[in-house]
Every structure is written in C-alpha cells, then in structure tokens.
Amino acid sequence: MEVDPSEIKKVLKILTATPHRIKSSTKGLDQIRLHFNSDEEPWSVNDILAHLRASADVWGKSIAAMIVQDHPILRYMSPRTWIRKRDYPQQEFQISVAAFTKQRGELLKLLKSLSTEDWSRGATFTATTKGREQTVLSYAQRMARHEDEHCIQIEELLKRTRNNK
C-alpha cells in the first residue's frame, strides 16, 4: 500500500495538537466545572478526556504492535471496555491531562521515527468484522479523527456552559 506523505503530516499535526487544544480550552477552569455533567450533557469534560485516554491506550498499543511485529493478529478491544478497568473518570483533570500529554509525546516520538513505508505496516484484528485489516496509518487516522471530534465536543460544551452563566 502506497502512503501519501502529506496524509502522514496531516495526522501528525492533529495528534500533536490534541493535548494543546484540551489544555487551552480548559485553562483556568476548576474541578467542579471540568467534572460537571447533566441530563442534557451526560459526559463532562473530564469524562471526554478519560475516554480519549482509554482510546489512546488501546489504539496506541495496537499501533506499536504493528510497528514491532510482522503483521500480527490482534484481538480488538473497545476503549469503552478498557476504561472500565481504569480509574480515569475519577482522576483529577490536571493529573489526567498530564498523563495523556506524556503518553501522546511517546506515541509521536514513535510515529515520527517511521519511514513512509512503515506507515503501511499492518495487522489483522479479530473480535470485530472477521479478519479486519488495519495499518499504522489507518489507525493513526482513526485516532486523529476521533480526537478532533471530541476536542470540538469539549470546546462546544464549554462554550455552551459559559453562555449559560
């Protein structure tokens, strides 16, 4: 599979920006605000960050496996299943965002070390669609899209709650 270097650059830009977007949009907010949810908005900003951390754990581990192993067969794990085994939703927001930022730095270091060809390294995932094929690039794209959507969610949630005050 031929990989477009401009697509790699785009993905790396989004993955690099995510921790900065979260920190920027939440700067100066207290724990009560960051953990607040309602019937209208059941996920707090902290819940969204916890979900992003779980997704980064699961998908980052899969990306690393694709890089170090020759076309492994991996069992797909849902980030929603993974988060049930972690205390991320209960953690203080600043501790959680620092852990996410550190983890992201490690993933970016790994991804930036890859040659263009390495981005096409892949794996077969089981426990989803039978024999689902993914590559480092497709998983990184998925992570980037997912995080961008949730950053927008955080930004809109905070904008709505600011406007309601």
Structurally, the chain folds into a number of domains equal to 1
pLDDT in tens, 27-53: 999 999 999 988 888 999 999 999 999
pLDDT in tens, 76-134: 888 999 999 999 999 999 999 999 999 999 999 999 999 999 999 999 999 865 558 99
CA distance 16 to 57: 16
Residue found by looking up tokens 């207290």 in the block: 30
CA distance 119 to 121: 6
CA distance 152 to 137: 22
Domain span including residue 118: 5-163
The CATH code of the domain that includes 40 is: 1.20.120.450
**What predicted TM-score, i.e. pTM, was given to this entire model?**
0.93
